[in-house]
């Protein structure tokens, strides 16, 4: 799996962590509208955390064309926002006495497999349309954890690439020196 596409040929929409963040946002919006009471601050908190994760991936990827430092910072913000959302879903299940799928359960294994195989919003929204709050929350938890791993790998790869190649300014300096014959 190519976690980081070549910027010259790939759009943000092709980035797997962006695709997953779109699914997480849409699932969260549906979940909040369907299962949280109007006026509950948790609605805004969850939807904004999901949005922040998605939007910071967009901003980070875009900024990465000229600033690895900004890219790293924004992807870290995306990661933190997603983990805040994860805690909200876990809290929702816990305080309502609902089951969070445990390691080794057939539900968790199936959701993890589906999460690896499907990255389109329509698939997940169709799936969620016929499921209850416990299942949707658990599906969101699985997707958030998978995306957290992808973001972690993305950050590692970007940091390694920066260590090897340097940043935008360093590259420009090298090109300038080469052209001047230094």
Smallest CA-to-CA distance from 64 within 51, 78, 50 is with 78
Smallest CA-to-CA distance from 78 within 36, 24, 32 is with 24
- Mean predicted lDDT score pLDDT of the chain: 90
The tens digit of pLDDT for each residue in 16-55 reads 999 999 999 999 999 999 999 988 889 999 999 999 999 9
Q: Where are the domains of the chain?
A: 12-180
Residue 151 confidence (pLDDT): 97
HSE (side-chain half, CA atoms, 13 Å) at 64: 26
Residue 173 confidence (pLDDT): 64
pLDDT value at 167 more than 70:
no
HEC-encoded secondary structure of the chain: CCCCCCCCCCCHHHCHHHHHHHHHHHHHHHHHHHHCCCCCHHHHHHHHHHHHHHHHHHHHHHHCCCCHHHHHHHHHHHHHHHHHHHHHHHHHHHHCCCCCCCCCCHHHHHHHHHHHHCCCHHHHHHHHHCCCHHHHHHHHHHHHHHHHHHHHHHHHHHHHHHHHHCCHHHHHHHHHHHHHCC
For the ranges 28-42, 87-101, 106-120, 164-178, the lowest mean pLDDT is seen at 164-178
The tens digit of pLDDT for each residue in 82-99 reads 999 999 999 999 999 999
The tens digit of pLDDT for each residue in 69-84 reads 899 999 999 999 999 9
pTM: 0.87
Residue 3 confidence (pLDDT): 47
Residue 181 confidence (pLDDT): 76
């Amino acid at each position: 799996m190519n976690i980081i596409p070549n910027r010259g040929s790939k759009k943000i929409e092709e980035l797997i962590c962006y695709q997953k963040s779109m699914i997480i946002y849409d699932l969260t919006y549906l979940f909040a509208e369907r299962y949280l009471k109007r006026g509950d601050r948790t609605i805004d908190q969850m939807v904004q955390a999901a949005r922040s994760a998605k939007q910071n991936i967009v901003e980070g990827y875009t900024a990465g064309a000229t600033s690895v430092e900004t890219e790293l910072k924004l992807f870290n913000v995306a990661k933190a926002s997603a983990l805040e959302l994860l805690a909200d879903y876990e809290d929702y299940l816990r305080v309502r006495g609902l089951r969070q799928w445990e390691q080794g359960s057939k539900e968790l294994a199936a959701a993890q497999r589906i999460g690896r195989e499907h990255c389109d919003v329509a698939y997940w929204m169709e799936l969620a349309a016929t499921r209850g709050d416990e299942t949707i929350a658990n599906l969101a938890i699985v997707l958030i954890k998978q995306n957290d791993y992808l973001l972690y790998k993305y950050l590692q790869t970007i940091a390694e690439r920066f260590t090897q190649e340097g940043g935008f300014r360093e590259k420009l300096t090298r090109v300038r020196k080469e052209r001047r014959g230094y």
